[in-house]
Amino acid sequence: MTPLLDLRDLSRDYLSRRLTGPVHRLRALDRVSLTIQPGEIFGLVGESGCGKSTLARLVIALDQPTEGQVLFDGEDLFALSPRELARRRRHFQMVFQDPYGSLDPRHRVERIVAEPLHVLPSRPGRAETRECVVEMLESVGLSADHAHRYPHEFSGGQRQRIAIARALITAPKLVVADEAVSALDLSVQAQVLNLLMELRETRGVTFLFITHNLAAVDAIADRVGVMYRGRIVETGPAAVVFDRPLHPYTRMLADAEPSVTRFGRPEPSTRPALLANTPSSGCAFAPRCPLAVARCLSEAPELREIEPLRQAACHRAEEMK
Ligand SMILES: Nc1ncnc2c1ncn2[C@@H]1O[C@H](COP(=O)(O)OP(=O)(O)OP(=O)(O)O)[C@@H](O)[C@H]1O
Ligand code: SF4
Ligand SMILES: [Mg+2]
């Protein structure tokens, strides 16, 4: 089956300049390859700054890769003309973290939810738009009455439902949810996760679900990818990856789960900024890895299959079993 999303050796560099001194090249994403099948919920986890949002922006073509390809439904998005790309945009939408900042406070819900329709080549008329908005609101557990209200009249969970309705209105094949539940209370998180699973069942939507929250991924994802410093270091079925990690970093995340899952932010001790010396060659995780050996400092591990359906980028992955 053709994957819905096929990322091939995707890299993204940023140039950054401190107040004084030379320009630095930062590799935010480093040769990431992964596939997501139609109807799948793929969870992407990793600590702050590892490149999750960078990957999300490339997937929905809000940003261009430095190298590599994004194949959506078999088509290379960055080989399309601007007009062709604009036509494809209805098929991939995004839900952002901040349910307060992502909805324009000056507009009523009806206008906010309908907004993606305006970029469609065949834009529906007023009555049809209104009908679509009401259908979307109802499908995310809100009602027709809500269409006339303003965002400030809603709770965080309801706002996230509005953001989801907006993402769904073009009937996308893929929704990228970047920390979409992280700002919500735990009970509201559970409701929104249930809604996403329901939408997968009823509408066949495929999700790239990005989060710090391992419990959320555990609850809804079919497969998971673990990122560290711009690279995928482990992939596999969500049901087993955190129970039986094949990469020492995944194990560290799973062991730290109570602190990682609380409100989606890792404890300071797990933040990448604390890395004292990141090796220029070898495994990026080596300075924090309890299993590091001499080879880890000289040879970067490639992502490889360790057991059926499971990949890890670690020289000692077999010993983790
Ligand atoms: N526009 C930009 N210019 C320069 N550097 C950037 C830019 N966007 C991201 N970065 C850097 O790229 C790296 C990855 O950032 P990214 O936002 O993708 O991380 P993230 O995993 O989404 O983090 P978080 O969990 O905090 O949202 C970080 O070091 C970040 O500082
Ligand atoms: S390759 Fe070496 S340093 Fe890197 S995660 Fe594996 S054991 Fe640790
Ligand atoms: Mg992010």
| Cα 286 to ligand 2 centre (Å) | 6
State whether 233 and 282 are in the same domain. Answer: no
CB 69 within 8 A of CB 9: yes
| Cα 49 to ligand 1 centre (Å) | 5
What average pLDDT does this structure show over 311-321? Answer: 96
State whether 239 and 283 are in the same domain. Answer: no
264 touches ligand 1 (CB under 6 Å):
no
The pLDDT value recorded for residue 1 is 85
How many other CB atoms are found less than 10 A from the CB of residue 210? 28
Task: Determine which residue's CA is closest to atom 6 belonging to ligand 2.
Answer: 314
The pLDDT value recorded for residue 71 is 98
The pLDDT value recorded for residue 274 is 36
pTM, whole model, 2 decimals? 0.91
In whole angstroms, what is the distance from residue 24 CA to residue 19 CA?
Answer: 12
Tell me whether residue 266 is in a domain: no
The H-assigned helical ranges of the chain are: 52-59, 82-88, 109-114, 126-139, 156-168, 186-203, 214-220, 238-241, 248-255, 257-261, 294-298, 317-320
284 touches ligand 2 (CB under 6 Å):
no
58 touches ligand 1 (CB under 6 Å):
no
The CA–CA distances, whole Å, from 34 to 8, 9, 233 equal 7, 9, 11
The pLDDT value recorded for residue 278 is 52
Q: Pocket of ligand 1, candidates 54, 96, 275: which has the most ligand atoms within 8 Å of its Cβ, to mutate?
A: 54
DSSP-assigned beta bridge partners for residue 180: none
Asked if pLDDT for residue 301 goes beyond 70, the answer is: yes
Residue with tokens 């809500």: 146
Tell me whether residue 17 is in a domain: yes
Coil, helix or strand at residue 110: helix
| Cα 92 to ligand 2 centre (Å) | 35
State whether 278 and 229 are in the same domain. Answer: no
What average pLDDT does this structure show over 149-168? Answer: 94
Atom of ligand 2 nearest to the CA of 291: 7
Tell me whether residue 214 is in a domain: yes
Tell me whether residue 115 is in a domain: yes
- The tens digit of pLDDT for each residue in 1-49 reads 899 999 999 999 999 877 777 888 899 999 999 999 999 999 999 999 9
Asked if pLDDT for residue 276 goes beyond 50, the answer is: no
The pLDDT value recorded for residue 187 is 87
State whether 230 and 276 are in the same domain. Answer: no
How many independent structural domains does the chain possess?
A: 2
State whether 306 and 224 are in the same domain. Answer: no
Percent of the chain whose predicted confidence (pLDDT) is above 70: 93
Q: Pocket of ligand 1, candidates 48, 53, 210, 233: which has the most ligand atoms within 8 Å of its Cβ, to mutate?
A: 53
Asked if pLDDT for residue 150 goes beyond 70, the answer is: yes
Helix axes 186-203, 156-168, angle to 10 degrees: 20
The CATH number given to whatever domain includes residue 86 is 3.40.50.300
State whether 165 and 285 are in the same domain. Answer: no
Helix axes 156-168, 126-139, angle to 10 degrees: 130
| Cα 28 to ligand 1 centre (Å) | 7
State whether 154 and 293 are in the same domain. Answer: no
315 touches ligand 2 (CB under 6 Å):
yes
Tell me whether residue 275 is in a domain: yes
Ligand nearest to the CA of 298: 2
**What is the extent of the structural domain holding 11?**
5-243
| Cα 271 to ligand 1 centre (Å) | 13
Asked if pLDDT for residue 119 goes beyond 90, the answer is: no
Tell me whether residue 257 is in a domain: no
| Closest among 4, 272, 44 to 179, alpha carbons compared | 44
Structure tokens at 39: 């109807």
Comparison of pLDDT for 267 and 152, the residue scoring more? 152
28 touches ligand 1 (CB under 6 Å):
yes
CB 37 within 8 A of CB 222: no
- The tens digit of pLDDT for each residue in 163-220 reads 999 999 999 999 999 999 888 888 888 999 999 999 999 999 999 999 988 999 999 9
State whether 211 and 94 are in the same domain. Answer: yes
| Cα 197 to ligand 3 centre (Å) | 22
Task: Determine which residue's CA is closest to atom 7 belonging to ligand 1.
Answer: 14
Q: What is the mean pLDDT of the chain?
A: 90
CB 188 within 8 A of CB 156: yes
Angle at 207 between CA 11 and CA 193, to 5 degrees: 130
* Contacts for 101 with CB less than 8 Å, ≥ 6 apart: none
- The tens digit of pLDDT for each residue in 225-274 reads 999 999 999 999 998 999 999 999 999 999 987 544 433 434 434 434 33
Tell me whether residue 166 is in a domain: yes
Tell me whether residue 254 is in a domain: no
Using CA atoms in the order 218, 289, 52, 234, what is the torsion angle rounded to 10 degrees? -50
The pLDDT value recorded for residue 270 is 40
Q: Pocket of ligand 2, candidates 228, 277, 291: which has the most ligand atoms within 8 Å of its Cβ, to mutate?
A: 291
Comparison of pLDDT for 203 and 275, the residue scoring more? 203
